[in-house]
């Protein structure tokens, strides 16, 4: 694991709701290392997307600091890419043209090379000239991931990127994102409501509580790679996360965790 990349200290974020200021993120402290894969889980509305948008530079905040490579984040930049639950590709552009956005500064040959490399990276090399509506949900998400990666961001922010996909497509995409992560060494921060997905992918899992959003626990996933979803160790970590979301504490008694 590399150097510390992202440092979030005493972050507080409020939103104006009905004319009143409501605290959404409360004293968030989180350090993420270069090349790390971090998942964030928590109930709907606890502020996960808000946190990602702050890291993306799309939202400001009241207190604290969010620092990437020793620089305070104040606006979006190409050092951070973002992927959402829906692909957000431009429907009137081909997949290649979608990837070309943001590569304007390059000459034609360089641009074509980068686009072709990234289509290969997500197994879409034969689909560069088609339009988004001609792709399946999983393929569209792969195109969205490729588009987020063409500028070689240091950090990829993923907001429930596989949340709308069917279970089997999701499993395939999880393996693809791992392959990309291993190849590109991009720091990944993924919000997900799928706890199994978090355990399968992440080095660490940030568990958040709701209203206001706080970090309850950061769980290290000490499973190595090529993880077995059916193993007892896998289940143990899954359960350790799950107990945060249930009132019934008897859940913790079954296994020693
Ligand atoms: N632009 C906004 N203005 C006011 N409230 C917002 C805004 N965006 C999000 N919120 C509120 O902030 C809370 C956290 O939202 P969000 O970060 O989207 O949650 P999550 O992604 O964890 O489901 C929610 O209560 C939501 O209604
Ligand atoms: Mg969200």
Cα–Cα distance, 30 to 205 (Å, whole number): 11
First and final C-alpha spacing in the chain: 26
Q: What share of the chain is helix, strand, coil (3-state, %, to 5)?
A: 35, 25, 40
| Residues 13, 18: Cα–Cα separation, whole Å | 16
Q: In this structure, how many other beta carbons lie within 10 angstroms of the beta carbon of residue 228?
A: 11
* Same domain, residue pair 245 and 225: yes
Please check whether residues 49 and 171 belong to one and the same domain: yes
- In terms of domains, do 51 and 130 share one? no
The ligand that comes nearest to the alpha carbon of residue 163 is 2
Q: 117 C-alpha to center of ligand 1: Å?
A: 36
Q: What is the pLDDT of residue 249?
A: 56
Contact 66, 51 (CB under 8 A): no
What residues flank ligand 1, with Cβ below 6 Å?
A: 15, 17, 24, 42, 44-50
Distance from the CA of 158 to the center of ligand 1, in angstroms? 16
**Under 8 Å between Cβ of 106 and 168:** no
Using the mean position of ligand 1's atoms as its centre, give its distance from the Cα of residue 229 in Å. Answer: 32
Q: What is the pLDDT along the chain (257 residues), one digit of tens a residue?
A: 567 789 999 999 999 989 999 999 999 999 999 999 999 999 999 999 999 999 999 999 989 999 999 999 999 999 999 999 999 999 999 999 999 998 988 899 999 999 999 999 999 999 999 999 999 999 999 999 999 999 999 999 999 999 999 999 999 999 999 999 999 999 999 999 999 999 999 999 999 998 899 999 999 999 999 999 999 999 999 999 999 987 655 555 454 44
What span, in angstroms and rounded, lies between the C-alpha atoms of 222 and 126? Answer: 38
Which ligand approaches the C-alpha of residue 24 most closely? 1
Same domain, 188 and 73: yes
The domain that contains 250 carries what CATH number?
A: 3.40.50.300
For residue 37, the enclosing domain spans: 1-79+154-257
- Atom of ligand 1 at shortest range from CA of 50: 17
In this structure, are 117 and 234 located in the same domain? Answer: no
Query: What does the pLDDT look like over 158-201, one tens digit per residue?
Result: 999 999 999 999 999 999 999 999 999 999 999 999 999 999 99
Domain end point (choices 127, 152, 177)? 152
Clarify whether residues 25 and 146 are in a common domain.
Answer: no
- Total domains in the chain come to 2
**Residues 73, 177: one domain?**
yes
Q: How many residues does the chain have?
A: 257
Q: Record the tokens describing residue 119, joined without a space.
A: 């289509």
- The ligand 1 atom nearest the CA atom of 191: 21
CA atoms within 13 A on the CB side of 56: 19
Distant-in-sequence, close-in-space partners of 184: CB < 8 Å, separation ≥ 6 = 121, 149, 152
């Amino acid at each position: 694991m590399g150097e510390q990349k992202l440092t979030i200290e005493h972050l507080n974020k409020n939103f104006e709701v009905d004319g009143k200021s409501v605290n959404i993120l409360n004293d968030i402290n989180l350090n993420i290392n270069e090349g790390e894969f971090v998942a964030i889980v928590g109930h709907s509305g606890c502020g996960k997307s808000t946190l990602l948008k702050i890291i993306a530079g799309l939202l400001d905040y009241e207190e604290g600091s969010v620092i990437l490579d020793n620089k305070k984040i104040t606006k979006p930049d190409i050092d951070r890419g973002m992927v959402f639950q829906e692909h957000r590709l431009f429907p009137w552009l081909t997949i290649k043209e979608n990837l070309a956005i943001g590569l304007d500064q390059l000459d034609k040959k360089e641009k074509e090379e980068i686009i072709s490399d990234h289509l290969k990276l997500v197994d879409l090399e034969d689909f560069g000239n088609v339009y988004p509506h001609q792709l399946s949900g999983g393929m569209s998400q792969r195109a969205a991931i490729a588009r987020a990666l063409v500028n070689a961001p240091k950090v990829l922010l993923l907001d429930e990127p596989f949340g709308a996909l069917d279970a089997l497509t999701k499993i395939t995409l999880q393996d693809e994102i791992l392959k990309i992560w291993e190849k590109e060494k991009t720091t990944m921060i993924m919000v997900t409501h799928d706890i199994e997905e978090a355990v399968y992918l992440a080095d660490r899992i940030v568990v958040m509580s709701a209203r206001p959003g706080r970090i309850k626990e950061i769980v290290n996933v000490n499973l190595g790679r090529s993880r077995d979803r059916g193993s007892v160790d896998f289940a143990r970590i899954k359960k350790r996360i799950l107990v945060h979301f249930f009132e019934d504490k008897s859940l913790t008694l079954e296994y020693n965790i």
